[in-house]
Amino acid sequence: MNKKIAFITGATAGIGEATANLLAKNGYNLILCGRRAERLIALQSQLKANYQTESHCAVFDIRDKESVQTAIQNIPEAFKGIDVLVNNAGLASGLATIDKGDLADWETMIDTNLKGLLYVSRQIIPGMVERKSGYIVNISSIAGKEVYANGNVYCATKFAVDALNKAMRIELSVHPIRVTGIYPGAVETEFSIVRFHGDETRAKAVYEGFDSLLASDIADAIHYVISTPPHVNINELVIMPTAQPMPGIIHRK
């Protein structure tokens, strides 16, 4: 197998799923990760039929460090030489002022967006260091650059991803491993359904009256950065809908 291998967390939906499709189309073999096994298996068959992609489904919860370790250690030999890690899995849970926030929501976001990203990275980076090659794409958010009202803990986790993105680049460029942070504004995915705990009506309203970003826009950016020549490192890409110049301002029709 001489195709490059990309490991994508959160491949069952949204940005991760769109990225899996685009990278498969562009000749990558894939390790597809998420908790919803049936979605990963369906995606695996679809990518095989459409692009002859070989993929391995790794079903695990990134919050559970033992599961992360076991799933990554059990990757079949043919997929172990990971070229690209896309740290995408993440979520917002709730939208409330800091005096009213739900502690369980806070813990879910911290455990997923920050600790989960660390658990996965800690398992994969040593192999990249050993092979002296690799590309890491960290999906932060515009919420990792600007704080908005009621975003408090979600923003804090995405600022943390920004810090880790910089830290990885400082520490890993010597190997040489390249590291890019991507900071999207509003992308219509399952994100708001998850944020509002399954309230689809409230989620739909977030994207009404303007053209939000599409998951495929972020997949295009990921494909672009990992396709640059080895002497180029795109440090960061902040990508916003034209109608959302900053968090909190959306020009609705």
Q: Is residue 43 close enough to count as binding ligand NDP by CB under 6 A? A: no
Terminal CA-CA length for the chain: 50
Q: Which of 25, 35, 131, 175 is in the footprint of ligand NDP by CB under 6 A?
A: 35
Could you tell which of ligand 8X3, ligand NDP, none binds residue 247, using a CB distance below 5 to 8 A set by kind? ligand 8X3
Q: Is residue 241 close enough to count as binding ligand NDP by CB under 6 A? A: no
Active site residues: 154
Q: Give, in degrees to the nearest 5, the angle at Cα 127 between 18 and 218.
A: 20
Binding range to ligand 8X3, per CB under 6 A, among 57-65, 136-144, 210-218, 225-233 = 136-144
CA 75 to chain centre: 20
Q: Which of 75, 172, 186, 250 is in the footprint of ligand NDP by CB under 6 A?
A: 186
Strand partners, 121: none
159 Cβ contact list (under 8 Å, min separation 6): 144, 145, 147
| Separation CA 127–CA 176 (nearest Å) | 12
CB 13 within 8 A of CB 39: yes
Binding range to ligand 8X3, per CB under 6 A, among 11-19, 51-59, 67-75, 140-148 = 140-148
| Separation CA 93–CA 1 (nearest Å) | 40
Per-residue binding string, ligand 8X3, 179-208, x by CB under 6 A, is: ------xx----------------------
83 Cβ contact list (under 8 Å, min separation 6): 4, 5, 6, 28, 133, 134, 135
Could you tell which of ligand NDP, ligand 8X3, none binds residue 15, using a CB distance below 5 to 8 A set by kind? ligand NDP
Nearest one of 236, 242, 179 to 214, comparing CA atoms: 242
For residues 65 and 131, which CB has a smaller minimum distance to ligand NDP in the complex?
65
In the complex, the smallest distance separating the C-beta of residue 189 from ligand NDP, rounded to whole angstroms, is 3
For residues 130 and 200, which CB has a smaller minimum distance to ligand NDP in the complex?
200
In the complex, the smallest distance separating the C-beta of residue 94 from ligand 8X3, rounded to whole angstroms, is 12
Q: Which residues bind ligand 8X3 (CB under 6 A)?
A: 141-143, 151, 185-186, 247
